[in-house]
Amino acid sequence: MAVARSKNLTIGSLWDKILLFALPIALTGILQQLFNSADMAIVGNFVGTEAQAAVGSNAPLITLLINMFMGMAIGTNVVVSTAIGRGDKEAISKGVHTSILMSLIGGLIVMVLGEVFSKPILSLLNIPDEVFDMALTYLRIYILGMPMFFVYNFEAAIFRSNGDSKTPLIVLAISGLLNVVLNVLFVVVIGMKVEGVAIATIISNSLSTIVLFIILLNTKQIVRVTFKKIRIDVKTMWAIIKIGVPSSIQSCMYSVANIILQTGTNSLGAIAMAGASTANNITAFAWFALSSFGQASTTFTGQNNGAGNMKRCRKSLYLSLGIGMIVLVVVASLLMLFSDSLFAIFNKDPAVWEYARIGMYFILLSYPCSLVQDSCSGYLRGFGHSLVPAIIAILCICVFRIIWILFVFPAYNTYSSIALVYPISLTMTAVATVAALLIMRPAKKREREIE
């Protein structure tokens, strides 16, 4: 398989580099969501609404785990991209090899804890009795793949820190196609239920992890992996943790808040659960499109910060916001235009569609603010500032949504009252993040240091 060339993000035109960097990330996320949606569509059409609800009820919890991995991987992105920007080969090597071993250990820890606490956690989500056993089966099997999921996200971060967002996309496309084939084989042909789609996901994700690792072993680029160098450098590990843990917390806040919202949705019954999971699956396509520009903001800021080019850091942020908004409008418009056709892929029940339509409207309405928050947070992380965006996310997303589900939802007890929290909380988060950026002005401070 051909590996994309290393890209120097500190020179040349910016807008095209940002677009060409972000689009493969967006497509990677969209493909991932397509393959996840295939799980939902297959169990919804070939097993039943309860099976679809079981898989969908796990979505917030699984997203929490994935976001935790992706947040930690941002630490690798910043550490390695900054080292690349300043041309420090030793720091690059330490960042790459430390990340590989850290991700494997972290994934194993999460797997063990997940297997131990999966049932108590699901018990807190108000999942109906007729759905609970299937939901638990799906989750326990899925968690077995956590080490591979963790390693994949760190591997993808290594590629992206080097300006290569295409290789993870190509690998994911191959493994995702395998996922769809295995879904059909296990569920439609063999007759398995939710366990079939969970096993298919583990196999396909393991393939993508192994392929990326083989490419890293054989690449001629500066991020090459050598077996004998795979060890943890303590200083590098703490640099990754310093950036990655707050980023992980920030990413997890969305999922924690959504798990809390899921408890409210679950109390409305299986049809509401299926409708909400349908809306979440469809709107995720737009979310991946916008979040890719947050990752672009982090990587471009990291490399240019390492090279001491502060004006280019600021320009990267502005272009990430501008191009991201255009892409978001296009994707969201397409989703709204073809919403009925998309709903039909997941479920043929009109009652499910009504819930899905409500969720889709409110979630898409919140995404422009999510783009602002993601891009500005990515910019701050590129300078190594991860704590402030994390605190903002905790307060404006997690705490606010807990308050909402405890006090507002019981007063109205409708799915609309749950969905309304998305635009309100994300508007608060975006405003607070922009205010923090204006107060901190990291590029201006760095300019004075360089002078």
pLDDT, position 3: 40
pLDDT band at 333 (very low <50, low <70, confident <90, very high): very high
Amino acid identity for residue 199 in this structure: I
Give the SS3 label for residue 348: coil
For residues 406 and 421, the answer to whether their CB atoms sit within 8 Å is no
Q: Whole-angstrom Cα distance, residue 134 to residue 53?
A: 9
For residues 303 and 82, the answer to whether their CB atoms sit within 8 Å is yes
pLDDT, position 95: 94
Which tokens sit at 416? 């609309």
Residue 118 Cα distances to 103, 121, 402, angstroms: 21, 5, 21
pLDDT, position 11: 81
Q: Whole-angstrom Cα distance, residue 135 to residue 122?
A: 8
Exposed, middle or buried by CB within 10 Å (0-12, 13-18, 19+), for 208? buried
Give the SS3 label for residue 88: coil
For residues 246 and 390, the answer to whether their CB atoms sit within 8 Å is yes
pLDDT band at 213 (very low <50, low <70, confident <90, very high): very high
Which tokens sit at 208? 């993508």
What's the rounded mean pLDDT across residues 58-78? 79
Q: Whole-angstrom Cα distance, residue 37 to residue 65?
A: 18
Which tokens sit at 177? 């196609």
Phi then psi for residue 231, to 5 deg, are: -155, 165
pLDDT, position 1: 44
User: To the nearest whole percent, how much of the chain has pLDDT over 70?
Assistant: 95
Q: What is the pLDDT of residues 175-203, one digit of tens each?
A: 888 988 998 899 888 888 888 888 998 99
Q: Whole-angstrom Cα distance, residue 249 to residue 437?
A: 19
Neighbour tally for 441: CB within 10 Å:
11
What's the rounded mean pLDDT across residues 358-386? 92
Which tokens sit at 113? 């804890």
- Would you say residue 366 has pLDDT above 90? yes
What's the rounded mean pLDDT across residues 81-110? 91
Residue 191 per-residue DSSP state: -
pLDDT, position 337: 93
pLDDT, position 108: 94
For residues 18 and 316, the answer to whether their CB atoms sit within 8 Å is yes
What's the rounded mean pLDDT across residues 335-351? 88
**Nearest one of 266, 320, 204 to 60, comparing CA atoms:** 266
Which tokens sit at 373? 């928050």
Q: Whole-angstrom Cα distance, residue 366 to residue 422?
A: 6
Q: Whole-angstrom Cα distance, residue 46 to residue 184?
A: 10
* Averaged confidence pLDDT in the chain: 87
Q: Which residue has the tokens 């993870």?
A: 168
Instruction: Sketch the domain layout of the chain as residue ranges.
Output: 15-450
Say which residue, 11 or 283, is predicted with more confidence.
283
- Would you say residue 4 has pLDDT above 70? no
Which tokens sit at 410? 């019981």
